[in-house]
Structure 1
Amino acid sequence: MFGPGDSTFGPGDVRFFDRLAPLYDFVMPGADPEVLADALGVATGPVRRVIDVGGGSGRAAALPAGLDADGPVVVDASAGMLARARERGFGAVRGDAARLPVHSNAVDAAVIVDALHHFPDVSGTLAELRRTIRPGGVVVIREFDPSHPLGRVLAVGERAIGMDSAFVTPAALRDALEATGFETAVPDDGFMYTVVGRVPDSEDASR
């Protein structure tokens, strides 16, 4: 379920997003700041160091007002999308979500908004998030539910235009996060749902 497949655009659909980058911010809505704020609030301690994984132009990097955070850093495989993120004033690093260019225990939180289904190696991504997020930190994943009627339409539509999308249900994502060592919660569900994974405060708790 979490493996790569055949597509027109290639693993991660990078070529598609390189082409779309100049128009992306005009056709895609921003992330819901209230949802992100509530989910990031699950973390123990302050949330200052944040990475937006697969963040493209930085839609989700514009974090909620009042969050005690440094400037979030966007990590993405698309050079075109990262150029847009830099234009918007965000830190931007080109990298593979399954091999994050981040030190272990180096970030307080990661967000992945409307991007996980494009990642060729979801299991590897979750393992990297577990490595890079410090104890008590969180990953917030916003995704589309393929078991929802609108989710089924979206999945068919992305396949029809040649994307290599692999959507997962909230239950499957929660299971995968827990198998990787996260404590989990699903604060909202529906067509677009949120799963929060929290690294235990004590590393020993997950061993």
Structure 2
Amino acid sequence: MRWDVRAFDLFAPMYDLLMPPADDLALRKGFAVAERDLDRILEVGGGSGRVARTVGATVVDPSRGMLRRARTKQLETVQASATDLPHPDGSADAVFVVDALHHFPDPERCLEEMARVLAPGGVLVVTEFDRSTRLGRALEAAETAVRFDSTFYTAAELETMIEAAGLDLRPIEYGFETTVAGVATGA
């Protein structure tokens, strides 16, 4: 188990108290580029469900402590790593990751897995801190200082990874918190 997962298990009881409320405007803009109705939504790396509850998503996370918190919000949860999602091909209308991709092992593999579970016309939305911004560099340094195994990305790197996962790129918002979407193609 990665240090990040153990740390989030320990941090779970205080997570919602210390984290700012979820701002889901960029997420909703990302959902708007989908080419299908969004009934089956997964939040991968969803932790305590602070974002999932705003859109009615199922929380997928490897941290038992975080999933316990999500269940207190009456959210459906699945304990799994983003590198090996237990969902069938084409079983989700939308998948999203908010401020968590930098914690994922093998992010390219994770994005491929998220693309795999998307139905045609479904959308993947990723909101991540851009390491090329001043705040992004500060956050990267802070997470390194607390020994998180984090890898932050620029907007261009996120776009490249989403396209490499086989999705049709749809840029949404840029800045410290960058949001990029990809739509699943195919019949």
Provide TM-score, normalisation by structure 2: 0.96
Distance 1:35 1:173 in 2: 15
**Secondary structure of 1:55's partner?**
coil
Corresponding pairs, count: 187
CA contact 1:111–1:139 (8 Å) conserved in 2: yes
Partner AA of 2:36 in structure 1: G
Distance 1:197 1:87 in 2: 31
Shift of 1:177: 1.0
Shift of 1:34: 2.0
Distance 2:107 2:21 in 1: 23
Distance 2:125 2:3 in 1: 19
Q: Which residue of 2 aligns with 1:28?
A: 19
1:108-133 residue CA offsets vs partner (Å, 9 max, x unmatched): 00110010000011011011011100
Describe how 1:13-162 pairs up with structure 2 within 5 A.
13-64=4-55, 71-162=56-147
Q: Does 1:170 align with 2:155?
A: yes
Runs (4 or more) in structure 1 with deviation over 6 Å come to none
1:77-125 residue CA offsets vs partner (Å, 9 max, x unmatched): 0000000000011001100101001010000001100100000110110
Q: Which residue of 2 aligns with 1:68?
A: none
Cα distance change, pair 166–105 in 1 and its aligned pair in 2 (3 A):
same
CA contact 2:33–2:170 (8 Å) conserved in 1: no
Q: Which residue of 1 aligns with 2:173?
A: 188
**Secondary structure of 1:17's partner?**
helix
Partner AA of 2:131 in structure 1: P
Partner AA of 1:53 in structure 2: V
CA contact 1:36–1:63 (8 Å) conserved in 2: no
**Secondary structure of 2:143's partner?**
helix
Distance 2:132 2:50 in 1: 25
Match of 1:197 among 162, 173, 182: 182
Percent of paired sites with the same residue: 44
Partner AA of 1:135 in structure 2: P
Partner AA of 1:154 in structure 2: L
Shift of 1:12: 6.3
CA contact 1:60–1:111 (8 Å) conserved in 2: no
Cα distance change, pair 12–46 in 1 and its aligned pair in 2 (3 A):
farther
CA contact 1:12–1:119 (8 Å) conserved in 2: no
- Structure 2 residues without counterparts, runs of 5 or longer: none
